Amino acid sequence: MTRNEALAPASELAKKNGVRFPNESDEYRRARDALLAEEIELRRHIERGAEQRRALPPGGEVTKDYRFEGENGPVNFVDLFGDKQTLAVYSYMFGPERKKPCPMCTSLLSAWDGEARDVEQLSRSQWSRGLRSIASSHSRKSAAGATSSYIQISAATTAATITP
Amino acid sequence: MTKEDGDDAAFNVFTRRDGTIRHFWSGEMGFETADPGQDPRGAPDLMPMWTILDSTPEGRGTDWYPKLEYTE
């Protein structure tokens, strides 16, 4: 890709890093600089992936009429967008067959909850739950926190995976 | 949600342009795309805690799991 041709080789860029820590050995610094070159390449790899993702052709149209129970009553899928053009939805493992939500999902949502409002400057983010009312949630307070909107899928909706 | 009324964790991104809602991107790295000996995982990972643990000599560990509650 043309952008890569303009970038300095990672090992050269790493050499320019002047960071040193007290009492570090030469062996440590050599290994740390080699790792830094790898980290620079990782950064570039992540950004190439994001660029490739942004360039995807339009995806499949969503034609199913999904309905959800929001905090303030029933909402349609399009309502989740608010005033934004893009919607990011995390589906939380907490369906009716579970007495408690998935701890891994809860951990993820606890972290995302802190940044949800920042993300929402650009996209609407919905961390949606499975078929369980928020009031009876067993999850940690931070996962049920105040900064994100939580939507529960009402029993009336079609239980189908959202597929393109 | 799965056909059996179960649920799977998923991260999906949708767009609304000119009144049309489209699917944009979902994570697709599951069991089929996992490397040998690994639990399925995506990249970049969605969870910050893996980044934190990757910066430690002990790494992510293998015999633990997040808990819903922690007693102090």
Inter-chain CB proximity A159 and B44 less than 8 Å:
no
B50: phi then psi, degrees, rounded to nearest 5: -70, -35
Q: What is residue A40's predicted lDDT score, i.e. its pLDDT?
A: 96
- Whether the pLDDT of residue A96 is over 80: the answer is no
Dihedral Cα A150, A120, B20, B2, nearest 10 deg: -40
Interface check A96 vs B, CB under 8 A: yes
The distance of A6 to chain B (nearest Cα, Å) reads: 24
Q: Looking at this predicted complex, what is its ipTM?
A: 0.83
- What pTM did the predictor assign? 0.76
Beta bridge partners of B18: none
Helix (H) or strand (E) holding A54: helix A26-54
For residue A90, what are its two tokens? 């995390």
pLDDT for B1-42, tens place per residue? Answer: 333 334 567 788 888 888 899 999 998 988 889 999 888 888
Spell out the long-range contacts of A36-40 with Cβ–Cβ below 8 A and sequence spacing 24 or more.
A37/A10, A37/A11, A37/A13, A38/A10, A40/A10, A40/A13, A40/A14
